[in-house]
Amino acid sequence: MLKPQDIVILLKLVAKAAVNSHWNFASLAKELCMSSSEVHAGFKRAVKSQLIHPQTRKPNVNALSEFIIHGLRYVFPAERGEMTRGLPTAHSFGPLKDVLADNQEIPPVWPYAKGNTWGQSFL
């Protein structure tokens, strides 16, 4: 079963594949501030989930896109927390704020003591 950090590993591999960058587990671990064993275990879980081609060691971009778009929210649902100060996220941040956000809605925030927005935390 995938773990949340596996998504980070997969997205890093997508970025590396996009620029044809070579990598090894140690370099990937350093860039992601993870241990090599965590990265290797995540890689193996992604292969088992068919999100990485085992022979090429490259992400299966079609499967990963489908998973991120349609499955991620079911596997790793966001948990609503308490009201707190934080950084605006999701539709309460940046360009989406003007297009999608309802001014009456309490904005979702990533908890951060020095944040500039009061809203409902998401963990």
Where do the domains of the chain lie, and which CATH numbers do they carry?
4-75 (1.10.10), 80-122 (no CATH)
* Low-confidence residues in the chain, pLDDT < 50: none
* Span 38-66, pLDDT tens digits: 999 999 999 999 999 999 999 999 999 99
Q: Are 42 and 6 in contact (CB under 8 A)?
A: yes
| Residue given tokens 């081609």 in the structure block | 53
How far apart are the C-alpha atoms of 96 and 101, rounded to whole Å?
A: 7
If we measure between CA atoms, which residue out of 61, 31, 29 comes closest to residue 43?
29
Given this model, what pLDDT does residue 101 score? Answer: 57
DSSP symbol at 92: G
Residue 113 main-chain phi, psi, to 5 deg: -55, -30
How far apart are the C-alpha atoms of 40 and 13, rounded to whole Å?
A: 12
